[in-house]
């Protein structure tokens, strides 16, 4: 992670909610119906991880507990999607080859490496009709966890995929109308992680001058999100400009 940017958001930690505790809940795998324990937030609190603010990966996706996996059949998905299974999807993944992933016996799904869970989830999601916004977020989530596990090359590949999708959505009016600020910021942050500081600065600075007017696809607190995006983009822009000047002075 880029230490200067992390420090920037630590300075704004007053904005963050306290870290949410996790609790065990028993549930059956929707594919093989094996009963096991999964970890869920003890309370439904919207919070955000400091390192993930400008990646726009909202809680709890930066927590490895939120990537569910069945320890019997290895079916895997993000917490919010795990139980969203219909007959058609179940039939599609019945013979999906996931050999080589999550090999071994596990007492809980947390014993599986989160990168294995994400790789399996990626294969599973390919059997669903999912849009660019989902994949853009999923690739950013993968990049975050793969980097945490020191899989730097894989993290870079996921960010390149996320960048392409964020830019595609930026020019697609079905996505971007009212949300240009969000997609500009996502693009800028991906450029930054890919060490393209000039491009990152261009996109983030442009984001700081736009106004977020809402996502027509869902109900949300538009003012709160606009304030969040403004805070992040303005401070991120200042930090990027500082880094550019420092590199020129060397």
In angstroms, the CA 33 to CA 102 distance is 19
Rounded to whole angstroms, what are the CA distances from 88 to 32, 92, 132, 227?
Answer: 15, 6, 21, 41
User: What residues contact 15, with CB distance under 8 A and at least 6 apart?
Assistant: 228, 231
Residue 204 corresponds to which tokens in the numbers above?
Answer: 């983030």
Q: What is the pLDDT of residue 17?
A: 40
pLDDT in tens, 123-161: 999 999 999 999 999 999 999 999 999 999 999 999 999
Instruction: Collect the ranges in the chain with pLDDT lower than 50.
Output: 1, 6-18, 48
Strand residues in the chain grouped as ranges (E): 22-28, 35-41, 67-69, 76-78
User: What residues contact 139, with CB distance under 8 A and at least 6 apart?
Assistant: 158, 159, 161, 162, 165
* In the chain, where the domains are located: 3-14+24-41+49-249
Q: What is the pLDDT of residue 1?
A: 45
pLDDT in tens, 208-217: 999 999 888 8
Q: What is the pLDDT of residue 205?
A: 93
State whether residue 40 is helix, strand or coil: strand
pTM of the model: 0.88
Looking at 46-95, list the stretches that DSSP marks H as alpha helix, in order from N- to C-terminal side: 87-93
Q: How many CB atoms lie within 10 A of CB 95?
A: 6
* Bridge partner residues of 38 (DSSP): 25
């Amino acid at each position: 992670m880029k230490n200067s940017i992390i420090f920037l958001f630590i300075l704004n930690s007053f904005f963050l909610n306290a870290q949410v505790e996790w609790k065990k809940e028993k549930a059956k795998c929707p594919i093989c119906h094996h009963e096991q324990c999964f970890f869920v937030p003890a309370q439904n609190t919207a919070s955000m991880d400091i390192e993930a603010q400008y990646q726009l990966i909202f809680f709890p996706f930066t927590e490895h507990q939120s990537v569910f996996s069945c320890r019997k059949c290895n079916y895997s998905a993000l917490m919010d999607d795990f139980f969203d299974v219909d007959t058609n999807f179940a039939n599609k993944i019945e013979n999906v080859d996931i050999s080589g992933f999550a090999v071994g016996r596990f007492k809980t799904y947390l014993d599986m490496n989160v990168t294995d869970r994400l790789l399996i989830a990626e294969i599973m999601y390919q059997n669903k009709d999912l849009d660019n916004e989902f994949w853009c977020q999923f690739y950013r989530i993968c990049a975050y966890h793969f980097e945490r596990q020191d899989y730097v090359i894989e993290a870079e590949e996921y960010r390149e995929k996320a960048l392409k999708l964020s830019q595609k959505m930026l020019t697609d009016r079905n996505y971007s109308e009212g949300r240009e600020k969000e997609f500009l910021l996502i693009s800028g942050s991906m450029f930054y992680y890919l060490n393209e500081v000039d491009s990152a600065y261009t996109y983030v600075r442009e984001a700081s001058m736009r106004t977020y007017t809402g996502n027509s696809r869902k109900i949300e607190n538009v003012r709160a999100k606009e304030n969040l995006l403004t805070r992040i983009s303005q401070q991120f822009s200042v930090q990027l400009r500082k880094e550019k000047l420092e590199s020129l002075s060397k």
